[in-house]
Amino acid sequence: MRVPLTNLIAPSFYEIHHALKEERFTHYWLKGGRGSTKSSFVAIEIILGMMKDPNANAVALRKVKENLRESVYEQLLWAIDVLGVSHLWHDSVSPMGLTYLPTGQKIIFRGADKPKKVKSSKLRRGYIKYVLYEEVDEFEPGDIRTINQTFLRGGPKFVVFYCFNPPKSQRNWVNAEVTEQRADRLVHHSTYETVPREWLGEQFFIEAMELKKKNLDAYKHEYLGEVTGTGGEVFLNLTFREITDDEIKVFDRIKRGVDFGYAKDPLHYAVMHYDKTRQRLFIFHELHKLRMSNRSAVMEIKKENTGNRPVTGDSAEPRTINEFRELGLNIVPAKKGPDSVEHGVKFLEDLEEIIIDPVRCPNTKREFYGYELERDANGNFKDGYPDKDNHSIDAVRYALEDDMRNARLKVGNKAKLGVR
């Protein structure tokens, strides 16, 4: 029986289907809301791919082993059925597995509650070509790295699928991960809106519209797969894109700041351009390193700061400031003052846009994107801004200290004059 793929794959996945055929990428991050059919698409692609490549095997993973049978195992069985190839596959529950009978190729299933113990099975032929992480947000980043190191070897080509509904919080590692740029990665977002209505049934759409009327944010998160936030996100004005050399050449208000490292904290040096007129900040260079000696830090900073322009550093470390000066760096201490942290972060929040180059400044991007207010035991947001994972934010605050002070004085003067 020949089944047209257009009857099985939603239009939003056509481009990815062609990318898989042409082997354009290794890592496919598929995110979206309910009813987007991303898991169905992946199951079909794995079954078709294995039947076309006699050396291809697959492993399907969930964080908790007990969740495998009712989710990814059933999804793959569904794909086998709708493709009309059930007579070519053998399925077993104990141990859980699927075998392609003509060649003996296998799909194995693994729970990853202990990632270091996840091992490949002995294969009759070939290698693990396909790796599927279902509900990848349940995993930790270290889990993914360990498991990929186990399976991505011994073959010429690999395809790794990461399927998930985005968590609400932008701080969640998986939401941050899909903003990273890699040449071997494709990130795709899908929703039920591109799926033929008859595939989901009329009741699905009724439920979606009811939720949309009652709770728009919940609808956006659950059905559209949007990162709606927890309400505690600090920086909602972020843009991640390449900042070109041509742009940097014409920047005329370049600022530099450094947050010194301590025993367990990295030194962070930041370089940026502040467009005061348009209220835009461009961050295009960073040095972010643990256990860096002062001498090494000054040498690295001077490589970027060839003109030895002023750098503003954390005044809480006068001894370090003095040593940096003795090593030849033009460094001045930040003046800080009462409420300087709160005022500085608020100043950055209120900018029209903070543009961060994610390739040049990956740690800056990570910290700004993940910076959220903390909650107390009752789930309420705590007062003040958290003092962790904010090294780049501190360095940027120091660099822009004069601009922040001028802005504060201007607001204060207007208040005295009764200007609104």
DSSP 35-64: T--HHHHHHHHHHHHHHH-TTEEEEEEESS
* Whole-angstrom distance, CA of residue 341 vs CA of residue 351: 16
Q: Has 207 been annotated as catalytic?
A: no
- Distance (Å) of CA 168 to CA 38, 294, 321, 324, 390: 19, 40, 41, 43, 21
Q: What is the DSSP string of 255-296?
A: EEEEE---SSS-EEEEEEEEETTTTEEEEEEEEEESS--HHH
Q: Choosing from 22, 70, 134, 135, which is the catalytic residue? A: 135
Residue 384, Ramachandran bin (φ over 0: left; ψ between -120 and 50: alpha; else beta): left
Local structure of 106: helix, strand or coil: strand
User: Between the CA of residue 103 and those of 51, 56, 333, what are the distances in Å?
Assistant: 9, 10, 70
Q: How far apart are CA 304 and CA 306, in angstroms?
A: 6
CA separation for the pair 257, 245 (Å, rounded) = 21
Handedness of CA 213, 214, 220, 225 (dihedral sign): negative
What are the catalytic residues? Answer: 135
